[in-house]
Chains A and B, each alone.
Chain A
Amino acid sequence: MGNKGTLRVIWPPAALSLLGLAAWQLVSDLGLIEPWLLPSPLAIAREALAIAPRLLEHAAATAQLTLIGFAAGTAAGLALAALLHLLPGVKAALYPLLVLSQNIPIIVIGPLFLIWFGFTLLPKVLLVALVCFFPVCVAMLTGLAQSDPHLAEYMRMIGANKREMLWKLELPNAMPYLFSGLKIAATYSVMSGVIAEWIGAEKGLGYFMLLSSKGFQPARVFAAVALVVAMSLALFAAAAAAERLFIRWRPAGGDEGGRPK
C-alpha cells in the first residue's frame, strides 16, 4: 500500500469531518446554540491561537507522559509475552489472571498509584504503561502461539531446534500481530495520559481541560480535545508507518496483489 492507497483510505473520513465542522459552524453562526454552551469551531480556533504557547506547553507535557508510558508498557508487554511463551506452565496460570485484571477500571487504580508513588511523573507513567501493556502482550502472545502448523511441522522435520523455531518461525509470524497490538496501544495511550493528568497533575492537557471546564471556558476545553485527538492520530500513524516499514511481505490490501491459494 503506497501513498495513493493511504490517501484513498483517509479522504472519506476527512471529508466527513470537514462537513461536520462546517455544519457546526453554520449552526453557531445562525445563533441556534449559545456560544457559552458550545462555541463555534472558528471561535475555538481563535481561542487556541490566542493561548497557543500555554496550550503547546501542556501538550508537550502530555506527549512526554504518553510516549514514556507507551514505551514502558510496550517493553513490559513484550517481555512478559516472551516469558509466558517460553514457560507454558506459567502462562497457563497467569494468563487468565491477566485478562481478569483488565476489568479493574484505571480510574480506580490512578488515585491508588498517587497514594503509593506520590505526586511525581511515576504514577502517571505507570498508568499509561498499564493501559498499553495489555494489548501488546496479548497480541504478541497470540502471534507467537499461532504459527502455521504446516510450517511448524516442516521446521521440525528438517531438524530445527527450539531456538530456531522461535527466531525463524514464531517471531516473524508474531510481527503482524504485534503491530496490531501496538496500534491499539497507541490509540489508548493518549487517552490514558489525559486521565492520569485528571487524577493528579499540575500540567498537561488533562489538567488544562479540568481547569478550563471548572472555569467555564468551553472553547479551551475543545481546543485541548482537538490536540488530544491529533496526538492520538499521530501516534497511530507512526505505528502504522512502522508496520509498513517492517512488514513488506504481506499482499497489499489483503485481497489484491496476492494469488488465491
Chain B
Amino acid sequence: MKDAVPALEIAGLRKSFGRGKTSREVLGGVSLTVNEGEFVSLIGPSGSGKTTLFRLIGGLERPDAGDIRIGGRPANGRRGLIAYMPQQASLMPWRTVAANVELALEIAGVPRREARTQSREWLARIGLGDYAETYPHLLSGGMQQRVSFLRALLAPQPLMCLDEPFGALDALTRLKMQRWLLSIWEQNRRAVLFVTHSIEEALLLSDRVLVLSPSPAAVIYERKVPFPRPRDEALWTSPEFNAIKQDIYERLQAYGEVGEGAR
C-alpha cells in the first residue's frame, strides 16, 4: 500500500552553528526519503549531526538551506508534525505511566477520553497493564523505553522519528527491545526514521539503511535490506546478513570512524 506521497522528504538540507571563524557546518546537504509504511535507519558516527537533523525535522531549528516535506507539506520550522521517541525515556515523574502515554496524544489534540482508552488498551497489550497507575520511577530502564515507544506509537502523526532509543540499554535488554519493537511495528507499519549506532540493529529492523558521513553530514550510502518479514534474530547467522553488515561497516570505516555498537 505504497502511497505516491512520501511520509518524509528531505532535500539538500544544510545547517551551520556559530558565526564567522567559529562557524561549523553540521549538515552539509542531507537528502533522504522515507516512504509511507517504510522503516528507514540512519547510521552515522557520533557527532555527525543526527540529532540536529531530527531537531530540524521536528521544527525546533530552521535549516540554512534545503527543504523538509512531511506528508507532502512544507515543514521547515513547523512543529507538531512528527511522533518522537528520544534517546532518554523522558517520562514525566509526576504523571502515571498511563498519563505519560497520553501526554503525546493530549498535545496532538486527541480528546482526553479517547486518549485514555487507547493508553489502557495498549499498556495491557504490551504487558504493562498492571503498571498503568504507577509512577515511572518504579519501572526498569527497558520498561520505561517501552512506555516511551508506546507514547510515540499512539501519537496520531504518521511519521515516527526515533533517536537512538536503545542506546542507553544493556546488551540483553536491548536485544529484547529490538525483538519487541519489531513485532509491534510489523503489525502496525508506520513510516519510521530510526537513528542507531548498531549496524545489526539497523539490519534487523529496517527496510532501508542510510549511512551518514561525519559532519558536515551527507548521506554517503544507501542499502536496501532484502529480508522478508516477519523477521527474527535467526537472520544474524545468515551469510547474506553478514555480507551486508560487512559492506556497511566498510562504508563507515572509509571515513575513519565507526559507532560503538557496530563492531
Contact = CB atoms under 8 A, between A and B. Distances in A.
Nearest to B104: A158
B92 A172 contact: yes
Nearest to A247: B94
B88 interface: yes
Interface stretch (B75-83, B191-199, B216-224): B75-83
Interface string B125-153: 00000000001011111000000000000
B106 interface: yes
A251 B135 CA distance: 9
B58 interface: yes
Interface centre among A155, A248, A259 (most CB of B within 10 A): A259
B86 interface: yes
Interface in B95-137: 95, 103-104, 106-108, 135, 137
Contact of A156 (B60, B137, B139): B60
25 contacts: A150-B88, A151-B90, A151-B92, A153-B90, A154-B90, A156-B58, A157-B60, A157-B79, A157-B86, A158-B83, A158-B108, A159-B58, A159-B80, A159-B107, A168-B92, A168-B103, A168-B106, A172-B94, A175-B94, A248-B135, A249-B135, A251-B137, A257-B137, A257-B138, A259-B140
A53 interface: no
Interface string A171-200: 011010000000000000000000000000
Interface centre among A151, A159, A160, A259 (most CB of B within 10 A): A159
A154 B138 contact: no
B248 interface: no
B29 interface: no
A258 interface: yes
A166 to B, nearest CB: 13
B138 A157 contact: no
Given A159-B79, A159-B80, A249-B135, A154 B94 contact: no
A257 B134 CA distance: 12
A249 B96 CA distance: 8
Interface residues of A, number: 26
Contact of A157 (B54, B88, B103): B54
Interface in A194-252: 247-251
A168 B112 CA distance: 14
Report the contact-size class of chain B (Cβ under 8 Å from the partner).
20 to 34
Interface string B157-174: 000010000000000000
B59 interface: yes
A169 interface: yes
Contacts of A175: 94
A173 B90 CA distance: 13
Nearest to B151: A158
A153 B94 contact: no
A250 to B, nearest CB: 8
B155 interface: yes
A169 B59 contact: no
B39 interface: no
A160 B103 CA distance: 10
B116 to A, nearest CB: 16
A165 to B, nearest CB: 10
Given A153-B90, A157-B79, 13 more contacts: A148-B90, A154-B84, A155-B107, A156-B60, A157-B58, A159-B80, A159-B107, A160-B107, A168-B103, A169-B92, A247-B94, A251-B137, A258-B138
A29 interface: no
Nearest to B136: A249
A57 interface: no
B93 interface: yes
Contacts of A249: 93-95, 135, 137
Contacts of B55: 157
Contacts of A153: 60, 86, 90
B108 A159 contact: yes
Contacts of B138: 257-259
Contacts of A159: 58-59, 79-81, 107-108
Contacts of A247: 94
A197 B140 CA distance: 55
Nearest to B90: A154
